[in-house]
Amino acid sequence: MTTVLVVTGDREVREILAQMLAEHGVAVLEAEDAVEAIARVGGMDKHPDLVLVDRRLARGDEMALLESIRSRASLDDVPIVLFTAPAGGPGATESIRDAFDTGLVLAIVDAICS
């Protein structure tokens, strides 16, 4: 089974991505920021097949996360995809659904993890 780590401080984005991926047979791990993601990846016996990282992380930043992942020999071949979710606010759920084309996200995951 494919395992994807989703890293974003936006709970709603995490939930939408996790649900969408899980519905297609992907195991999803979640982290809300770079600090949590670094700790999570560091404690894993089996690395994720893909890491999806929101460019708007609240604590830590995507570059620190990328450097941490790349500095570990066992993780240096794990693909990392950066994305930017729309900011929250009224109508954010609809905007998120528009921004995350299910077919495109699943095609990216499938192309990278197959």
28-75 pLDDT tens trace:
999 988 888 888 887 787 889 999 988 777 666 777 788 888 887 777
Residue 105: band (very low, low, confident or very high) from pLDDT cuts 50, 70, 90: confident
| Stronger pLDDT, 15 or 89, i.e. the higher one | 15
Homologous superfamily of the 3-113 domain (CATH)? Response regulator (3.40.50.2300)
Mean pLDDT, all residues of the chain: 80
Asked whether 65 and 5 are in contact (CB, 8 A), the reply is no
pLDDT the model gives residue 91: 47
Phi-psi category of 25—alpha, beta or left, where left has phi over 0 and alpha has psi -120 to 50?
Answer: left
Q: For 4-26, what is the mean pLDDT?
A: 89
